[in-house]
Amino acid sequence: ELKVEQNPLFLSMQEGKNYTIYCNYSTTSDRLYWYRQDPGKSLESLFVLLSNGAVKQEGRLMASLDTKARLSTLHITAAVHDLSATYFCAVSGGGSQGNLIFGKGTKLSVKP
């Protein structure tokens, strides 16, 4: 059974600081996704990581994937208040139907 663990679950950081969110998964998967969710809103796709060593960056966020370690990271550089949200990683269960298994999410709060 595929399991996805994220840590930390809660993260309070000051503006301007750097931090990393970790996502571990238990079995081989060919796709890993990062989503952002604002309170009361739907999921916004941030990154799709498809291969070992993949690195993608958008603004202050950078995601990477190590399929051998079954680990993905979401690195936040010089955090700003607008990044406050809940971040989910999700791993594809495989096959053509693409069922996603989500981590529990990391609630990020960036304080001035």
102's enclosing H/E stretch is strand 100-102
Q: Pick the binder of another protein from 48, 62, 71, 80 (CB under 8 A).
A: 48
Contacts to another protein from residues 65-94, by CB under 8 A: 88, 92
Interaction between residue 102 and another protein (CB under 8 A): yes
Helices (H) and strands (E) in the chain, counts: 0, 11
Binding of residue 41 to another protein (CB under 8 A): yes
With contacts defined by CB under 8 A, how many residues of the chain interact with another protein?
22
Query: Which of 96, 93, 55 has the alpha carbon at shortest distance from 73?
Result: 55
100 binds another protein (CB under 8 A): yes
